[in-house]
Amino acid sequence: MRKAFSSQHGFAFDNTYARELEGFYVPVEAAQVAKPRLLQWNRTLADELGLDSEALGSEQGAAIFAGNQLPEGASPLAQAYAGHQFGGFVPQLGDGRALLLGEMLDGQNRRRDLQLKGSGRTPFSRGGDGKAPLGAVLREHLIGEAMHALGIPTTRALASVATGESVFRETPVPGAVLTRVAASHIRVGTFQFFAARGERDKVQRLADYSIVRHHPQAADAENRYLALLAAVADVQASLVAGWMHVGFVHGVMNTDNMTISGETIDYGPCAFIDAYHPQAVFSSIDRNGRYAYANQPVIAQWNLARLAETLLPLIHEDETRAIELATEVVDGFAAHFGDVWLDGMRAKLGLTTAEEGDLELANDFLAELAAQRVDFTSAWRALAASLLEGEEVLSRRFEDASGCQTWIARWQERLAREPMTERTRVAAMNRVNPLYIPRNHKVEEALAAAVESQDLEPFETLLTVLARPFEEQPGHAGYAVPAPESFGSYKTFCGT
Ligand code: AMP
Ligand code: MG
């Protein structure tokens, strides 16, 4: 048996999932690894969680976050879930390479999951080895932290530990374990797992648990399960709108990768758009573009319909009535998403008031970017800059500038009816249009250095730059520009 560490490291677990939801998981212990080494340690997040960031930022932390030592109070378990993968239902997925250590309350009294990812086989591993390659771990670490800094709800990375072992993919690659912090790991697929087995009581227990943990306002509603569905629809609408505003393509929006909490989860083949195009796809396995940039709201709604199906027996005893009620909520997603999306687009355009024509103005700008494949992130930043430095800052990014110039004139006309001064407007726009995003070539460069040359410096510099995405940082202009031509078209791989 493994010896537990004392709570001197600040671990104060309170494991409601383990305690209240027996039968929803399998208790599992992490695999022992050869030579754990702490590569990344997120002190800020450790402090938020009340952990001893000093003591854990050491060999002790490496042992714990590799899975070699169990912190006191943890109850490691693999969660059961199912999911639609690229539209096809898989009745059993589950944590095949992850373990929930337990839950802790952070400084703001928010309940957070601590999960190890890459910690060895579980009963849900099927043919997999339960391990994670270093590149994939660092990628999730980086993108999650970048998303957080961009203000988008997301799981976060507490630690990345090298295991000192090889994992075998096409070739042997260094192995690693990620410690992930999340509001919870309850997915649409968690509901589907029990619904597909006809376990109505368990679906109800999971729904009740989710309401308490994530959407407590639903408890007061006349129909609490319908209110739960509506609450998940709301948080997902905001989440996906947030993705769209920064050009993020999740890449694998299977129902097992969609949370009930509304956090982004499972950074696999994701990427940020460079040259704007609504049908942008990066994932090598997404051959039909199911999860293309502009499809994301449609897919979110499709996933919500799958959640709705699991809740039908709870929503109303009469199935026809249940379907009517649920359909209303799922259908309402589109309009709600549209509103949230437009609000964000107004902010990106520097608008503080709402007018009829704003939707068209926003869409026409995107159409201009798409027509000439202009770099998304820097175009928005240039739009603000054009107010102080002249329209060429933006229009010179277009091979044919005429469409852009006509559009700028319309935008200027619209701005004339806004109350803000120019300087305030530019500052406001720069607070929502990031200067730095995880550019694909920079991410690849940083991961290659870390994996192939054991050089973490490029990774750490990138992580530092991305921690303040809206502020210009001296000496880091290179992080704000598109990839050189030679980088070519970008493809991502699941990296499992
Ligand atoms: P993902 O594609 O990361 O969302 O994972 C889909 C499913 O495959 C989940 O059930 C994972 O636990 C499982 N899985 C992915 N990689 C591995 C692996 N290396 N070993 C075992 N299970 C895995
Ligand atoms: Mg997943």
* Span 39-97, pLDDT tens digits: 999 999 999 999 999 999 999 999 999 999 999 999 999 999 999 999 999 999 999 99
The predicted pLDDT at position 1 comes to 42
The predicted pLDDT at position 485 comes to 87
Residue-wise pLDDT for 195-213, tens only, equals 999 999 999 999 999 999 9
Cβ–Cβ under 8 Å, residues 473 and 462: no
Residue 256 CA: nearest ligand 1 atom is 4
DSSP state, residue 2: P
The predicted pLDDT at position 5 comes to 45
By mean pLDDT, which of 5-14, 80-89, 213-222 is the weakest? 5-14
- Segment 266-271 shows an average pLDDT of 96
Q: Is the CB of 336 under 6 A from ligand 1?
A: no
CA dihedral 173, 177, 178, 181 (to 10 degrees): 160
Residue 132 CA: nearest ligand 1 atom is 19
Give the chain's radius of gyration (CA, Å): 23
The predicted pLDDT at position 325 comes to 98
In the predicted model, is pLDDT for residue 372 greater than 50? Answer: yes
What is the residue with the minimal CA distance to atom 7 of ligand 1?
Answer: 93
Q: What percent of the chain is predicted at pLDDT more than 70?
A: 98
Q: Side chain identity at 466, as an amino acid letter?
A: L
- What distance in angstroms lies between residue 262's CA and the mean position of ligand 2's atoms? 15
Alpha-carbon span 174 to 166, nearest angstrom = 5
In the predicted model, is pLDDT for residue 436 greater than 80? Answer: yes
What is the residue with the minimal CA distance to atom 16 of ligand 1?
Answer: 496
Q: Is the CB of 92 under 6 A from ligand 1?
A: no
- What distance in angstroms lies between residue 257's CA and the mean position of ligand 2's atoms? 5
Q: Is the CB of 28 under 6 A from ligand 1?
A: no
Alpha-carbon span 98 to 79, nearest angstrom = 9
The residue ranking higher by pLDDT, 150 or 490, is 150
The band of 480, judged by pLDDT with boundaries at 50, 70 and 90, is: very high
The predicted pLDDT at position 39 comes to 98
What is the residue with the minimal CA distance to atom 14 of ligand 1?
Answer: 96
Residue 131 CA: nearest ligand 1 atom is 19
Q: To the nearest whole number, what is the mean pLDDT of the chain?
A: 96
The residue ranking higher by pLDDT, 466 or 490, is 466
Pocket test for ligand 1, best of 85, 86, 125 (most atoms within 8 A of CB): 125
- Segment 294-315 shows an average pLDDT of 98
Q: Is the CB of 238 under 6 A from ligand 1?
A: no
The predicted pLDDT at position 492 comes to 87
In the predicted model, is pLDDT for residue 283 greater than 90? Answer: yes
Q: Side chain identity at 265, as an amino acid letter?
A: I
The band of 7, judged by pLDDT with boundaries at 50, 70 and 90, is: low
Q: Is the CB of 251 under 6 A from ligand 1?
A: no
The band of 2, judged by pLDDT with boundaries at 50, 70 and 90, is: very low
In the predicted model, is pLDDT for residue 3 greater than 50? Answer: no
Instruction: Look at residues 237, 371, 240 and name the one whose alpha carbon lies nearest to residue 293.
Output: 240
Q: Is the CB of 129 under 6 A from ligand 1?
A: yes
Cβ–Cβ under 8 Å, residues 466 and 149: yes
- Segment 99-122 shows an average pLDDT of 97
Q: Side chain identity at 116, as an amino acid letter?
A: L
Q: Give φ, ψ of 202 to 5 degrees.
A: -70, -40
The predicted pLDDT at position 494 comes to 67
Residue 81 CA: nearest ligand 1 atom is 10
By mean pLDDT, which of 7-16, 413-422, 458-467 is the weakest? 7-16
In the predicted model, is pLDDT for residue 6 greater than 70? Answer: no
Residues bordering ligand 2, an ion, CB closer than 5 Å: 257, 266
Cβ–Cβ under 8 Å, residues 110 and 118: no
Q: Is the CB of 93 under 6 A from ligand 1?
A: yes
- Segment 391-413 shows an average pLDDT of 97
What is the residue with the minimal CA distance to atom 15 of ligand 1?
Answer: 496
What is the residue with the minimal CA distance to atom 11 of ligand 1?
Answer: 96
Q: Is the CB of 266 under 6 A from ligand 1?
A: yes
Cβ–Cβ under 8 Å, residues 121 and 136: no
Residues identified as active-site? 256
Cβ–Cβ under 8 Å, residues 124 and 95: yes
The predicted pLDDT at position 448 comes to 97
